[in-house]
A = this chain, B = another copy of it.
Amino acid sequence: MGKEKSDKPAFQLKVPKGTKDWEGKDMVIRDKIFAQITEVFKRHGAVTIDTPVFELKEILSGKYGEDSKLIYDLADQGVYRRDQPAMAKGRMREFYQCDFDIAGTYDPMLPDAEIIRITCEIFESLGWQGRYTIKINHRKILDGIFSVCGVPQDKLRTISSAVDKLDKSPWTDVRKEMTEEKGLDPEVADRIGEYVTKKGGRELLEVLTKDAKLSTNESAKAGLADMDLLFTYLSSFDVLDRVSFDMSLARGLDYYTGVIYEVITEGSAPQTATDSQTKPKKETKKPAAAANGEEDDRSNDPSVGVGSVAAGGRYDNLVSMFSGKQQIPCVGISFGVDRIFSITKQRLASSPAASAAIRTNEVDVYIMAFGGKGFDGLLPQRMALAKRLWDAGIKAEFSWKVKPKLPQQFKAAEANGVPFAVILGEDELKAGKCKVKEMGLPEGHAEKEGVMVELENLEQEVRTRIEKANARAGDALAGGMAGLGV
A residues within 8 Å of B by Cβ?
Answer: 1-5, 10-11, 13-16, 19-24, 27-28, 30-31, 38, 41-56, 59, 74-79, 94, 98-104, 106-107, 110-111, 114, 117, 121, 233, 236-238, 322-324, 326, 332, 360-363, 379-380, 383-384, 386-387, 390, 393-397, 400-402, 416
Contact = CB atoms under 8 A, between A and B. Distances in A.
Contacts of A13: 59, 322
Given A52-B19, A107-B400, A361 B3 contact: no
6 contacts: A2-B48, A10-B323, A15-B51, A21-B51, A27-B50, A44-B390
B396 A1 contact: no
Nearest to A49: B23
A323 B59 CA distance: 42
Contacts of A111: 400
B101 A401 contact: no
Contact of A103 (B4, B76, B237): B4
6 nearest A-B residue pairs (beta carbon): A106-B400, A19-B52, A236-B383, A110-B400, A22-B50, A23-B49
A11 B324 contact: yes
Contact of A47 (B1, B49, B102): B1
Nearest to A15: B52
A3 B46 contact: yes
B47 A4 contact: yes
A234 to B, nearest CB: 10
Contact of A44 (B38, B42, B397): B397
Given A16-B56, A100-B3, A101-B3, A45 B401 contact: no
Contact of A10 (B22, B326, B379): B326
Given A11-B324, A13-B59, A111-B400, A21 B50 contact: yes
B1 A38 contact: yes
A331 to B, nearest CB: 10
A47 B75 contact: no
